[in-house]
Amino acid sequence: MRLPDYIATAQTNLLRTKVRTFLTVLAFVIGTFTLAMVTAFSQGLRSYVNTQLNAYGQPNVIRVSLGSTPSQASSSGVPYYQSNRQATVTGGGGPHDGKTASYTLGQSDLSKVKATPGIVAAYPDYSTLNIDYVQYQNTHKYVMQVQGAYPTETIALSAGSFPAANQPDGIVIPYSYVEAFGASSPTQLLGKTVSIQVSSVQPVQTHIYTATITGVLPDTAHQPAAYLANQLIARMVQFQTGSTTQFSGITALARNNVAKSERAQIKSALQSKGYKAETYDDLIANFNKPLTVVSAGLTGFAAIALLAATIGIVNTLLMAVLERTQEIGLLKALGMRKKGITFIYLVEAASIGFWGGVIGVALAMIVGLVANPILNRTVFTGIGSTHILAYPLSYMAGIIIGAMIIGLLAGTLPAVRAGRLDPIEALRRE
């Protein structure tokens, strides 16, 4: 017999006991459907998280700071004095509640970071800048957080672009300010100006700066800070604090499309110089860890369902061996070899896994087609075109192949038993 003949014979044999075969396949459908939904949810959720994080971090950006070490702070968290640095303590209320001391950085630190292999540029991070309000034309005055915009920004915007080198007063605003400013679309605000008031520390004064909107950030679940041209932030910091020689951190830039291994090497080089470096991979890992735990737990439930289906296959095929004992004996008497009998039963087992996998995955994908638009309009608004249920074809194909393998393993015992039947004894049975 050729392979197509074995497959056709196996399908015919399965249809002899339609109800039993249907129930066994149904068990596999439940298992593969659950596994496909878990996979779709975990993959979609990772995509959703990545979409949100793209507004806060970029693959080629490395945040550099100077954290406390045993030589910089006592065991209770109280920082030692360091000349030319200002220390601040953050953490819990008790002496051993994980307090850490952070120190300001200066031009010498900026030079060291720039000299690190793999770093193409580095800029002061003036995260301590506080603005009073931002106002567009005659609208209300709004609170806004700001951060520096640097060359080679790679965040995909809803409209516009990041400030170019010849736009020292450019600003990229969060998506939520489009409606707040009374605009009907992000493109309507491009090229328009906003007023930003900043207050100085000593003496207490206020100054109004004008910024030109060059872009609008994507719509995300959480509102990120606006991106101000670094030159404009420097002028604001100079006015507010009277100096730009010290800053809270450094934003280092690697080349675009930098590989993950290269980012790890850059991080290691910065740490060897005594700095704390946070890469895009660290940001992703912090969010993906709980997702991995949840996905593993849900996959466990799907595995239980597949285990029940496996037992069902063993039962179905063992019953088939008992019911078709005389038929097996006749086939052997007519010349079919032991391997042929065994292979037929293995094909039957794989067929149960295949059809269970195909139907389960198909049902899961149909659920996704219906559920994704509803979820995007309700629970997961503000994530653009990202679907919370994603069905990568490679993963779905893997589930179907996995179901077939489980079917083969489950059918091994009945298949071997069928192949070992003695034809004479088989023909004597009624």
Exposed/middle/buried for residue 108 (C-beta within 10 Å: 0-12, 13-18, 19+): exposed
How many CB atoms lie under 10 A from the CB of residue 299? 15
Residues 67 and 276: beta-carbon distance below 8 Å: yes
Residues 254 and 263: beta-carbon distance below 8 Å: yes
- Residue that has been written with the tokens 């087609």 in this structure: 369
Q: Where are the domains of the chain?
A: 3-54+287-428, 127-242
Closest CA to 322 of 414, 409, 422, 416: 414
User: How far is C-alpha 232 from the chain's CA centre?
Assistant: 34
Closest CA to 358 of 17, 13, 31: 31
3-state secondary structure 300-311: HHHHHHHHHHHH
The per-residue pLDDT for 93 is 42
The per-residue pLDDT for 194 is 96
The per-residue pLDDT for 343 is 82
Exposed/middle/buried for residue 373 (C-beta within 10 Å: 0-12, 13-18, 19+): exposed
Closest CA to 91 of 69, 71, 76, 74: 76
Concatenating the DSSP letter of every residue in 359-416 gives: HHHHHHHHHHHHHHHHHHHTTT-S-TT--SS---HHHHHHHHHHHHHHHHHHHHHHHH
Bridge-based pairing of strands 170-173 and 146-149 is unpaired
The per-residue pLDDT for 282 is 84
pTM metric for this prediction: 0.57
The per-residue pLDDT for 81 is 65
Q: What is the pLDDT along the chain (430 residues), one digit of tens a residue?
A: 677 777 787 778 777 778 878 888 888 888 889 888 888 888 887 777 766 666 556 788 888 887 655 556 566 656 566 666 665 554 444 444 444 556 778 888 899 999 999 998 898 888 778 899 999 998 899 999 998 887 666 677 889 999 988 889 999 999 999 999 999 999 999 999 999 999 987 788 999 999 999 999 988 766 788 999 988 998 999 998 888 888 878 888 888 888 888 999 999 999 888 888 888 888 777 766 766 777 777 777 777 777 777 777 777 767 766 666 666 666 666 667 777 777 887 888 888 889 989 999 999 999 989 888 887 777 666 555 567 788 989 989 998 998 888 888 887 877 777 767 666 665 565 5
| φ, ψ dihedrals at 182, nearest 5° | 80, 20
The per-residue pLDDT for 365 is 93
Bridge-based pairing of strands 193-199 and 206-216 is antiparallel
What are the pLDDT digits (tens) for 22-55? 888 888 888 889 888 888 888 887 777 766 666 5
State how far the alpha carbon of 335 is from the alpha carbons of 331, 341, 354, 418, in Å: 6, 11, 30, 15
